[in-house]
Structure 1
């Protein structure tokens, strides 16, 4: 992480005392190389690996050890370690994880190179020690103010939190380095879009100071309100390198809505009964079902569809008016025969007690859907249409606690959302198992990210005119330790839902660009071959996206023109203003942008003129109809013609037969990919496709 302190490191004093603990002949070679630099620069002591006492460190400034003998316990010591790899089996990342500060190879054992490595390792170690001490003093000072501090390495997406944050938020393991999602993942969903926008504005230089109030989750799941403030440190070009700031607890000044005084029985915004009232009434309803087997109740859990987009589009005040009007309309729809509560954010709960039949809950859900479809909201002269997803939990589940009912109703709401907008779903046993399976998969996904179980497969893209290889699409696969290779259809949706798609997407981007750069260097015929990488909505919303991509391109030395980023239509229309700004920055850097699965959305044509794109990808569902259903396939020439009129490229996905390829070629479709040419393959098989040049 980029430091924010101006503390200078102590100067290196000579001679530098070095303990060499290597097997022969390497120990002698290292000792000779350092001795040749002169006794005034290095004082060298040699000990065999069996004899060296790494715990007795007072007499030396640096260890030189064999990388194969590194011990993770070294990482907790104060003495810098320079590791030597004699066979290349240990890379720098692994060496650092095991306690080394740096890594050298046998090719770097000349006097000049080795002297430089020793000096730099000692200097860096002392600089880090000085900064650590300065940070500790800084944190001690801030503890007196009760503020927690944070530092964010924008390019590496690493956030460091001060120990005070653990106390502030009531959580453990806050110290050390974390990704940006460690912050964003704890922010209340209603506050997250504004926070992201505010930080993005600071990173892009549109504001000079970050200051934003938001709610953040404590360790017990409750929310507290904090004021986050920060500044940016920039390089010579004005690009943000790191951010640094603080969290101030403002709960006492401005209590969060869902942390109101315990005696409050009504929601402050809508006037509806609060969740506390709902839980109290649910307790009584549950008791009645235990006393009377015929007693029935249902809970409807309502969540507005795409409320985040609505919030971003019309503003927080107008969105609050929507919630207030919705509260009144829900009360009118139930006609006093049910308890309507605001549960939090855009979530509402309705308790129907003493039912004759559970069908009454379904009837009410449909009445709510019909009311929202029939009558839009009128807010400050704007006509706003919105829909809701509704989950229903019935009392035939033998519930014991209100939280169990709300949990199952929430699971049913999630199922309804997956079925599309304006849907209802009633909880059943399969959903509970599905929820458990989802939770299990989510935990395994997190572990897979840590254990680096993901791999990148490559599907070729070819010219329809010449069948020549023109590019690859990078596609992720999960190499599960028990199940083997798992396709994305089994985990990508969950990764999107949980935000885990961000680290997965970062891995795919870096791995794909690294591999393509290697192919460019190895094969002359690969110089004009591009790599296409899918970009998720979560990544597009990340304020560090552009910096991350720039860092990958700089590290791999891959030309930006060789990279194509693919985005779906829904990703673009979620927040078109922000998307337009970010895509322009990417395109200004020479990166190409393609709309994936084109034609499957509902707003693409109206938004196309807003985005500077380089190409369209025709969805496989349309290509499948070529030669089978002329009416349904008619959209294919329309998309090709649209691409030509816009002056952009066009790629047909899912091409499986020669007839399809020939028809697409006659339509003047430029490129295609699909099983006709190759399935997605690992990198070694993809290299063979490069050597073939012509596919199909």
Structure 2
């Protein structure tokens, strides 16, 4: 048979003329037959002086409504339907749709209902066609999907969105005393990442499930526990007695997590940081209180104590977020600069080098203190690209100075290393690249590390320092005297310079104890064959006193404040071979 394309079939214009035989077909079909053809509940209602009545219903409607076939009584039809039909009859609308619920044998049933006006040319009583489609299965699917969207699949607790809905439900549908308030308790598992790294994600999941069960056991009736992040939980609590109730719950949490958790053959002790925020009254925005509790828990992670939200903490958190966002852009777009503070050889007054210090002047935030943005960089992980940029830029600055001078200058540059960068980055490879790209000899760069970086992981720190020494770089221990270094570590590590913290130097002429500490550090350095740099020299008297004590090098505002690259070069040229303090 030859196939014919649909496109080639003749198309006739559509008209309003009835189909052939249509009138004849209608003559023998009654209302009952039309209604029986519907695959769902259907009925015709009438509205007259007796009110709303059922004219005819199909078999499905009769069974659902509890009617007999020959009855026009409304029977068990819910008053809601009667009200809907009555309201529709009094309106001017041609159609309407709504959903109805009824209690079935297996639980609630849901129906999508429609109402429409029937032609009344030959009838004095208005007639309305009613249909109802069973949507119970669809609603069950929607309910299950919603449950999945609002709950955590691992612990079956509410997630962040579900937590908000649970709080709204408690606030709107519970009876609260006049003086009642609510609180949010945020909980952060401190060492969860180590469990994941050491034992694997399955063990991490098992730990979270166990912690969730224990936290749930510490709740009171009406409290809500949720998992709002990877290792973050939160509790919504009614507080009839304010802070004392919140602290009581915190004590129960600590007791619940006090005993070790067994994972495989190991027993893990769970440490957590806890932050609390209390509402002023029941009209407070729950999301705002949750953010305050999360701000408090961040402080608790640093302090090691339970923290209660204080006014201003949220603003600080919002500023840290702004700094992080703007800092990310600044690193990508070259928005930071290095300032250089001279290092002075105290016996001769010569400039031996410069310490490179990061500076940031943002278009929106203005001048941001290094103390502030470096702390944010360490917290957010941006310290790694920041540290790399500083090392590369400092080496390039030396190369540019050499080009201006016409030969290698007799100065070097010190670059600070964050303990977090040392832990996460390949610092040895970073400095090797910085030196190679700039063509600078390793002996002209000094890495400044802190005592805390060595204490955190002595073995890793030793390997790193050996790698830097292989590049012929010098190593200075910054802020010496403020940490917990011991003689054994100083003797075993390849350290060249001790930098005395400015807190000891600044007031040593007035404070005898500070002067004794400075003398002790100088004596210790001499016995270990280490050089010493004193920070915070702000007067000539301090410079002369340190010179007499035998201090090798100093820096401070007495000599110069940190300056830009051009000014630093000019400063060195002006003082070249200048030999008096």
**TM-score normalised by the chain length of structure 1:** 0.53
**Aligned equivalents of 2:519 and 2:180: distance in 1?**
60
Quote the residue 1:282 is aligned against: 167
User: How far 1:485 moved relative to its partner?
Assistant: 5.0
1:654 pairs with one of 536, 546, 552: 536
**Aligned equivalents of 1:398 and 1:384: distance in 2?**
39
User: How far 1:350 moved relative to its partner?
Assistant: 3.3
Report the 3-state secondary structure (helix = DSSP H, G, I; strand = E; otherwise coil) of the residue aligned with 1:643.
helix
Q: 1:575 to 1:686 in 2, by over 3 A?
A: same
**Aligned equivalents of 1:408 and 1:393: distance in 2?**
6
What pairs with 1:405-554 in structure 2 (closer than 5 Å)?
405-418=289-302, 420-426=303-309, 428=311, 430-481=312-363, 486-523=368-405, 527-554=409-436
User: How far 1:473 moved relative to its partner?
Assistant: 0.1
1:600 pairs with one of 465, 479, 482: 482
Matched, 1:565 2:447: yes
Q: 1:426 to 1:637 in 2, by over 3 A?
A: same
Matched, 1:393 2:277: yes
What pairs with 1:60-139 in structure 2 (closer than 5 Å)?
none
**Aligned equivalents of 2:521 and 2:358: distance in 1?**
27
Matched residue count: 432
- Tell me, yes or no, if the aligned pair for 1:525 and 1:690 is still in contact at 8 Å: no
Q: 1:443 to 1:321 in 2, by over 3 A?
A: closer
Matched, 1:297 2:179: no
**TM-score normalised by the chain length of structure 2:** 0.62
**Aligned equivalents of 1:628 and 1:383: distance in 2?**
53
**Aligned equivalents of 1:386 and 1:307: distance in 2?**
8
**Aligned equivalents of 1:368 and 1:639: distance in 2?**
46
Q: 1:336 to 1:486 in 2, by over 3 A?
A: closer
Q: 1:443 to 1:565 in 2, by over 3 A?
A: same
**Aligned equivalents of 1:659 and 1:330: distance in 2?**
61
User: How far 1:512 moved relative to its partner?
Assistant: 1.4
**Aligned equivalents of 1:278 and 1:308: distance in 2?**
24
1:347 pairs with one of 232, 244, 259: 232
User: How far 1:417 moved relative to its partner?
Assistant: 3.8
Bigger CA radius of gyration: 2
User: How far 1:457 moved relative to its partner?
Assistant: 1.0
- Tell me, yes or no, if the aligned pair for 1:289 and 1:296 is still in contact at 8 Å: no
**Aligned equivalents of 2:365 and 2:445: distance in 1?**
32
Q: 1:377 to 1:485 in 2, by over 3 A?
A: same
User: How far 1:523 moved relative to its partner?
Assistant: 4.0
Quote the residue 2:124 is aligned against: none
User: How far 1:652 moved relative to its partner?
Assistant: 1.3
Q: 1:561 to 1:493 in 2, by over 3 A?
A: same
Quote the residue 1:243 is aligned against: none
Deviations 1:12-56 (A, max 9, x none): xxxxxxxxxxxxxxxxxxxxxxxxxxxxxxxxxxxxxxxxxxxxx
Q: 1:578 to 1:278 in 2, by over 3 A?
A: farther
Deviations 1:104-156 (A, max 9, x none): xxxxxxxxxxxxxxxxxxxxxxxxxxxxxxxxxxxxxxxxxxxxxxxxxxxxx
With 664-673 and 345-354 compared, the bigger mean Cα shift is at: 345-354
Structure 1 gaps of 5+ residues are 1-260
Deviations 1:31-83 (A, max 9, x none): xxxxxxxxxxxxxxxxxxxxxxxxxxxxxxxxxxxxxxxxxxxxxxxxxxxxx
